[in-house]
Chains A and B, each alone.
Chain A
Amino acid sequence: MRTLYQFHGGIHPPTDKTQSNQKPIAQSALPAKLVIPLHQHVGNSAKAVVETGERALKGQIIGRPEGHLSSAVHAPTSGTVAAIDLQPVAHPSGIPDLCITLIPDGLDEWALRDACEDWRALSHTDLRHRLRNAGVVGLGGAVFPSDMKLYAHKHKITTLVLNGAECEPYITCDDLLMRERAAEILQGAEIMRALLYADEVLIGIEDNKPEAINAMKAAVAAGGHARMEVIAVPTIYPGGGAKQLIRVLTGIEVAAGVRSTDLGVQCFNVGTAYSAWRAIRHGEPLISRIVTVTGNVDHPQNFETLIGTPVAELVAQAGALPGTTGYIMGGPMMGVLLPSDQAGVIKSTNCIIAASDKLFPPPKPVLPCIRCTRCADVCPAELQPQELYWFARAKNLTKAEDYHLFDCIECGACSYVCPSNIPLVQYYRFAKSEIWAQQAGKKAADAARERHEFRESRMEREKREKAEKLAAKEKAALAAAKEKAAVAHSPLPNPDKTTSHSTKLPNDGSQVAGYLPKGEGTNESLRELQVDDTIQLKIQAAIDHAKAQAAAIKPKNTGQLTPQQQAEIAEIEARRARIREIAKDATEEQPSK
């Protein structure tokens, strides 16, 4: 007999499970439409990969996982995509989210399934990849992508805990799953054990489910599973919390800010193990789950329900009764009130309770806290709920964080026992989301500051570079001018040549430099001198040729000129000659200056 441990606190609310666990799992009828949200899991939303009007087959990916932490979404049956738009979803905010609406065609035609006879032949990477593409996420409520939890850890995982405790009142989906499909759950656990290299598998089931315990024990024996043990744990709420169940089964207490994997334990819901097996062995993605329909209905029962089935249509199958005031998704302790009965069932929908005033009377008036500390006595996370309440109420968020607000699992035990009827969990949820929003705001502000400062420094750098460029340009221009002046001032040894060409040739330093004697010129003139004389000769020949051609040109339209015109021409010619004379003088005078 294994030694079991205890966790702090806990309560014993009426379990209310017998209403729904008397009948076997029924197959939910095909609804008129399926509303499948693209964001059903922790992490990034899946990206729609179908178009409106397209026909999708059962099990076909309609939302592809995006990024590292994400999961795929599939068509639960064959049909036509009617819309991809914002629809009411099963979320307490009531904010619509992106959903794919599928109109079933009734054929239930499967897409190609990649079944695998022997999963042990597959590589671990391949197995994780298959799980991701099959959209397998934690079905216990956290909807965390399972492939991300199945990495061999740097700390060796010794124990795989399978959570079949199902501690919350009313919910019986895991109970029925274990009763009817125990062998397949255990096969899934084997895959998980292999991926984690874990030694033993502990299956924790609360002792108010004897049928499930027996079925699982029989399956372990029949399947020949070694080092796998089904353990009945005492019924106490919230014994199904991952940290609490790990504590009860192994005695390990997972401290604040520590993951159970750091201590060698990984925990999965039994439903997740079942879906993992269906995905690997049969290639069936997560397109349906067991949902308990209970509360104010005629015949409470568990239904194998397609993801996306509108809640109203599902409840109708259990015989909706008048007097229903709303639908709770989850249990009465931690569940959320659905904003719309048209929202589709999602992967985390374990239970739908039709609430009525008779089942859940309106909350009693809230009275002041009398500091009785009953909440602290029952808190499974060993917090001081009354202190957290004061801080959250006063919006003193830093203080609430100091008192380990984020260790709160929102189980609702404190609210349950509060004699003043204070909705404590609502305060904690408020404080948590406020802190998250502040952290997000701070992150955004830091990013904006960084970008602004980068921009400032960039603009400064650009300004500086511009100024430097300008300065360099000016310096170069100055140097060029100086050089020019130096060349022009150097003595010209062959005045004849210069004189004869100065009027026709551009007054170019290099041209002149060609005639400079060795040793007297700049670097450039020296280089000029090294150039073969033939170039100079060629240039001279070209100049002479041009001159001859210019001389050969006869002035046109000079035949019949009036004396006045001839006088004008003569005047212009005289002026040109004068200018030439002046220019010649100037070039001759230059060297002497």
Chain B
Amino acid sequence: MLSALLAMSVIAIALGAVLGFAAIRFRVEGNPLVDKIDAVLPQTQCGQCGYPGCRPYATAIAEGLADINQCPPGGEEGIHKLADLLGMEFKPFGGETVTKPKAVAFIDESTCIGCTLCIQACPVDAIAGAAKQLHTVIASECTGCELCIPPCPVDCISMVAIIDTTTSWKWKYPVYALTPAPIDTP
């Protein structure tokens, strides 16, 4: 009886020590799921999901605080990807959410007063300029988050839709009319 108890407790202590050591030795910093979700998000950092950036939203999804259908820039495709990743059902956007075509901010340089407010608002440092100097958007870096529009005191920022060029153009999914096959009459 005593020896059995002793043996069991020795095994328990030994295994506990192993587990404890493994927990310290192989500790994973942060939540790996957050990284996976973050990789799927479009990184516009626009905050339309209600969180201040893509990573906070990814963290909220991982913790089960946010839904997967709160990212308009990701589009329905983004929801599909999140649903696949998290093993959830696809969930369409809520009533008011509209996905817009991709666009970049454009500063009307004749109106800009050089207040730097938009520079402070830009989450990806895509606006170049300094105090009392003309500002301009680095179009290739702009994510189209529209965060620079509200702070502008002279309303000189507008969104310009990105138009297809011959290099960015994509072949369309083949669509053809369904015509009844000719019936061979004997």
**Chain A residues in contact with chain B, CB under 8 A?**
39, 89, 91-93, 95, 97, 363, 365-367, 395, 423, 426-427, 429-430, 432-434, 436-437, 440-441, 444-449, 451-452, 454-455
Contact = CB atoms under 8 A, between A and B. Distances in A.
B42 interface: yes
Interface in B132-186: 141, 143, 164-174, 176, 178-181
B167 to A, nearest CB: 8
A423 B174 contact: yes
B123 to A, nearest CB: 5
A455 B170 contact: no
Interface string B104-123: 00000000000000000001
B165 A451 contact: no
Given A93-B169, A445-B43, A446-B43, A452 B124 contact: yes
Contacts of B164: 93, 95
Given A95-B165, A429-B171, A448 B178 contact: no
B125 A451 contact: yes
B173 to A, nearest CB: 5
Nearest to A97: B166
A181 B44 CA distance: 57
B122 to A, nearest CB: 8
Contact of A427 (B42, B125, B170, B174): B174
A114 B178 CA distance: 59
Contact of A93 (B38, B41, B45, B166): B166
A95 B181 CA distance: 35
Contacts of B141: 447-448, 451
Given A365-B178, A430-B173, A455-B125, 12 more contacts: A89-B166, A92-B171, A97-B166, A366-B178, A395-B173, A427-B174, A430-B171, A433-B171, A445-B41, A446-B43, A451-B124, A455-B123
Contacts of A89: 166
A367 B182 CA distance: 12
Contacts of A395: 173
B31 to A, nearest CB: 17
Contacts of B41: 445
Contacts of A92: 171
Nearest 10 CB-CB pairings of A with B: A448-B43, A445-B43, A93-B169, A429-B171, A433-B170, A451-B124, A426-B174, A365-B179, A449-B43, A433-B171
Contact of B176 (A363, A430, A441, A447): A363
Contacts of A91: 166, 169
A430 B166 contact: no
Given A93-B164, A451-B124, A451-B125, A445 B170 contact: no
Contacts of B173: 395, 430
B126 interface: yes
Q: Which residue, of A39, A437, A444, A445, has the highest number of chain B Cβ atoms within 10 A?
A: A445
Interface string B37-65: 01001111100000001100000000000
9 contacts: A91-B166, A93-B164, A95-B169, A423-B174, A433-B171, A440-B168, A444-B143, A452-B45, A455-B125
A386 to B, nearest CB: 15
A448 B45 contact: yes
A555 to B, nearest CB: 53
Interface in B3-48: 38, 41-45
Contacts of A429: 171
A451 B178 CA distance: 48
A145 to B, nearest CB: 16
